[in-house]
Amino acid sequence: MYSIRIKNLRCLSDTGFIQIKPITVLLGQNSSGKSTFLRVLPLLKQSVESRTTGPILWNGHLVDFGVYEDAHRKNAQQGILFSFKFQSDLFYPYTRSKLVYTKEYLESIEIRIDLEIFKINETNKPRRLSIFFADSTIEIEFGEHEYLSKFYVNNENFLKAETKYRYQQLSNSYILPIITEYQSEIDSASEEIESLPIYIRGRLPRFRKIPDMLIKETKRIADPRTSEKTIKKMARSFGLGSSEEMLKDIQDNQYAKNSWKTKTKNWTIDTEIFKRLRNLIIANAVPLIIEDCDSIIGKISRQIRYMGPVRAIAERYYRTQDLAVDEVDYQGRNLSMFLRNLTESEMKNFADWTFRNFGFKPSIKSSLGHISIEIIPRDSDKPVNVADTGFGFSQLLPIITQLWLLCEAPERRAEGNLRRQARQASQTPVVFAIEQPELHLHPRLQGILTDVLVASVKAAKDKNINFRLVIETHSEVLVNRLGHLVADKKINAEDINIVLFEPSNDNESIITRTSKFDSDGYLIDWPLGFFEMEFE
């Protein structure tokens, strides 16, 4: 999920695709939509981590968008649209049932998913799902009663009168609806009951009519003497990709006879019989493409970490609780318990890291069922309770603790249920979304924090972690410091995306545009006076 586009969410009419780079900075006036865009990340996380009746959980434990009517942009004619782009090589190898007739992606291609959501009967439902990969397009629209009203592949209609397709938001799906063929008659071969939706993972295919059509089309092209077994092997082995790659794969099919290669050798991507076969191969794979895309969205969303704009105020004492805490929550309320659960060596590592970067060492003190967080400044050996250090430290500590956990101590993040996620982190992005990290910080400390953000990106890269920061800020210091770090070669300019949120000329919507640093650390296409005050 390297790019995200949002339409008709609160004040955002259309953000266009915003690339999520290792550091993505969101800038704009108050109520300009930058926080709304950032909160889409925790919105996705809370949606995939909860059992819901619809694709999106608007009001959850991380963010609250109200209900659909609150989230939907006023007077918008279309529903709320979420669009994602990612590479097909994020899909992990898998073994498919012998009844499923697709093989693999032939090349690394960019895949784009558009999901439009609307409300019906007090529940938000999918209205439209579009999938774009290479030079092919899949268009699906949903009716009001969980049946498809449109199913096109490259403008070819696969919604036949004799076959119904339905969609479901199942417990093992994340955001995208699962598409299945609806069985209207008793299938004597499988002895299924009447009207049973074909959905049994790993045992039955989602579709039956389209695989039959694919086999018949393959048989029609092949030599009449080709056995039924070989025909099915060929149909199962066709791969997915661009039209050029699919044509080559069809022509060089490993199970094909010489007669097949003779018939297909003069085909081009504009040959009608090839286009028919290509569209059948893609249509047959639609359920698996959707499930793979849904799986990637789910895995990325689960890896998202979020820190809200106002962190918890430091307390002098915290009551001891026997809870296992693997990460800092979005307000830092469990920070004391997280630090208490660190081993002695981990606490030393963390203290050394904060001392090296910020000039203080945190520690935990336990007494009579209570614990307190203390810090030791660089120029002193006397611990000070964090409640006596000023509001800035209580706002900074949760952020830097989460940074250390994600980038400097990934082995800690690999504990328990997160172990498998940590092994996959080199492929699946770990996104840390932070609102106003500069809150209550002196400009000098804002600059130091920026240095640490950049250093964390480098540390993650050295550990083969695909780490990405999304930062919503009002800090001119942070932006200027990033430019200095680019000039000093501490970070590549291509690893930073600056996104500006601004009202349109008619003030009816928000427009977004991007800026970036050149190799000398100067911003390109930066609006003059962006941080300056306006006077009438």
Structure tokens at 165: 């397709």
Average pLDDT across the chain, whole number: 85
Is 347:401 a contact under the CB 8 Å cutoff?
Answer: no
In terms of pLDDT, which residue wins out, 1 or 239? 239
Share of the chain above pLDDT 70, in %: 86
Q: In whole angstroms, what is the distance from residue 422 CA to residue 427 CA?
A: 10
Q: In whole angstroms, what is the distance from residue 372 CA to residue 312 CA?
A: 14
pLDDT band at 50 (very low <50, low <70, confident <90, very high): confident
Structure tokens at 522: 């100067």
Which residue bears the tokens 């990106």?
457
Residue 61 has pLDDT above 60, yes or no: yes
The pLDDT of 465-486, averaged and rounded, is 96
Q: In whole angstroms, what is the distance from residue 283 CA to residue 158 CA?
A: 8
Residue 25 three-state SS? strand
Phi-psi category of residue 529: left, alpha or beta, with phi > 0 → left and psi -120 to 50 → alpha? left
The pLDDT of 270-287, averaged and rounded, is 94
In terms of pLDDT, which residue wins out, 463 or 481? 481
Residue 531 has pLDDT above 70, yes or no: no
The reported pLDDT for the residue numbered 535 is 42
pLDDT-wise least confident of 40-44, 166-170, 213-217, 532-536 = 532-536
The reported pLDDT for the residue numbered 164 is 83
Q: How does DSSP assign 429-494, residue by residue?
A: -EEEEEE-TTTT--HHHHHHHHHHHHHHHHHHHHTT--EEEEEE---HHHHHHHHHHHHTTSS-GG
Is 323:337 a contact under the CB 8 Å cutoff?
Answer: yes
Q: Using one digit for the tens of pLDDT, what is the confidence trace for 99-134?
A: 344 557 888 889 999 999 998 777 788 999 999 999
Residue 211 has pLDDT above 80, yes or no: yes
pTM of the model: 0.89
* Rg (alpha carbons) of the chain, rounded to whole number: 27
Residue 24 has pLDDT above 50, yes or no: yes
Strand partners, 139: 130, 152
The reported pLDDT for the residue numbered 199 is 36
Is 409:349 a contact under the CB 8 Å cutoff?
Answer: yes
Name which of 441, 353, 360 is nearest 403 in CA terms.
Answer: 353
Residue 88 has pLDDT above 90, yes or no: no
The reported pLDDT for the residue numbered 423 is 44
The reported pLDDT for the residue numbered 84 is 96
Share of the chain above pLDDT 90, in %: 57
Residue 509 has pLDDT above 90, yes or no: no
Burial class (CB in 10 A: 0-12, 13-18, 19+), 3: middle
The reported pLDDT for the residue numbered 528 is 62
The pLDDT of 487-498, averaged and rounded, is 97
- For 510, the enclosing helix (H) or strand (E) is strand 510-517
The reported pLDDT for the residue numbered 416 is 41
Q: Using one digit for the tens of pLDDT, what is the confidence trace for 358-378?
A: 999 999 998 877 899 999 988
Q: In whole angstroms, what is the distance from residue 472 CA to residue 28 CA?
A: 9
The reported pLDDT for the residue numbered 89 is 74
Q: Which amino acid, residue 119?
A: K
Is 479:349 a contact under the CB 8 Å cutoff?
Answer: no
The reported pLDDT for the residue numbered 532 is 61
In terms of pLDDT, which residue wins out, 484 or 180? 484
pLDDT band at 408 (very low <50, low <70, confident <90, very high): confident
The pLDDT of 22-33, averaged and rounded, is 93
Q: In whole angstroms, what is the distance from residue 295 CA to residue 301 CA?
A: 10
In terms of pLDDT, which residue wins out, 187 or 351? 351
Structure tokens at 419: 């172990």
Q: Which amino acid, residue 330?
A: Y
Q: In whole angstroms, what is the distance from residue 365 CA to residue 373 CA?
A: 7
The pLDDT of 472-495, averaged and rounded, is 96
The reported pLDDT for the residue numbered 203 is 38
**Which three-class secondary structure string do you get for 108-147?**
CCEEEEEEEEEEECCEEEEEEEEEEECCEEEEEEECCCCE
The reported pLDDT for the residue numbered 98 is 39
In terms of pLDDT, which residue wins out, 366 or 197? 366
